[in-house]
Each structure stands twice: as C-alpha cells, then as structure tokens.
Amino acid sequence: MRFPRNLMMSPVLSFTADEAWEHFIRVPGESIFVHDAYALPQMLDAAELTQRWGAVREVRGQVQKELEELRVRGAIGSALAAEVEVYAADERYRALASLGEDLRFVFITSAARVSQAPDADQERIVVSASPHQKCPRCWHYRADVGADAAHPELCGRCVANLFGAGEPRTHA
C-alpha cells in the first residue's frame, strides 16, 4: 500500500497529520502512528549492480566520444541534438536494455536505442544529428513537438509533465 504524503509530516505536525490521516483513510480512531512509513526494497546483489552499471558507464564513455566527434564536425551543438543507436552483445546489451526509455537520460541525448549484436565483434555505436524539432522547454529534439494543438510549441513529454499525469520514469 502506498501511503499519503501526510505520513511524512507526522513527526513534525503530529496532530494535523493524524487528523488528515483520519480524513483521507476514513477509518475512525485509526492513528497514523501505527503504520510504517516506508517498506524498504529488497537489496540487490552489490557485485551484479556494480558490474551492470560498470558496463553502462563504459558504453556511456564511448557514446560521449562519438558525440564529441559529431560536435567538432559541426553536426550538433549539444548532446541533446543527437540520437544514439547502440549495437551491443551479451551483458552489455542486457545492462543497456534494462534501462528502457531512460537510456537517453544516461547518455543525455534526445533519443537512445539499443539493439542486440550477434557477438562482441559486431558491437558498434551510431550517433547522428536528430532530424526532429527542438522543444523550447526541455530542449529535447522530438518527433512530437507541436503534436498537441493546445500547446503547439511543446513536445508530448512536456505536455504530459505540465498538464497530464507526467512521464513515466523508472531509472533516471
């Protein structure tokens, strides 16, 4: 069960938090102080976590080098003006693919995709300038800039964050 934010207020605003708890939960006589604040997630294997993020950081370093070459040639001004396609094998592929859509935030690019390479010899990184329009709010280059008629200058991500439920993010 996910607890309301007033659970975090309880040590500071004890009476107000307790009254708010009764109002929102609607269980008369039940106090906020008999509930746990947060159930901690199960610990991950430290060695596995270190190995996974080591692979992600290694690929990120290679992506940054490719982005810098593109910047020097004048094809992009910033990393957000680029899109990245990574072809990776085995552990690298699994580590990168586990990040899903959040991979672009790790690379600090507007788009990032990972595809499985048949073997380590065929791993490569393809960096290109984004063909899309830049959103003036988040500076990402996206295909959905102007797709919402009510907000023609914004991308779908910004519209969702400002006027909707927000974008789903799990890692970054």
Cα separation of 7 and 22, whole Å? Answer: 11
Tokens for 120? 């380590």
Q: For residue 140, what are the CA distances in angstroms to 16, 41, 51?
A: 42, 32, 30
pLDDT at 166 over 60: yes
Q: How far apart are CA 162 and CA 60, in angstroms?
A: 30
Reported as a single tens digit per residue, the pLDDT across 104-115 is 999 999 999 999
Q: Classify domain 46-131 at the CATH topology level.
A: hypothetical protein PF0899 fold (3.30.2320)
CATH 3.30.2320.20 occupies which residues in the chain?
A: 46-131
Query: So what's the pLDDT on residue 8?
Result: 61
Q: Is the pLDDT of residue 1 over 70?
A: no
User: What's the predicted TM-score (pTM) here?
Assistant: 0.71
- The pLDDT tens digits for 44-91 are 788 898 999 999 999 999 999 999 999 999 999 999 999 999 999 999
Which token pair is 39? 């159930």
- Where is pLDDT greater, at 166 or 83? 83
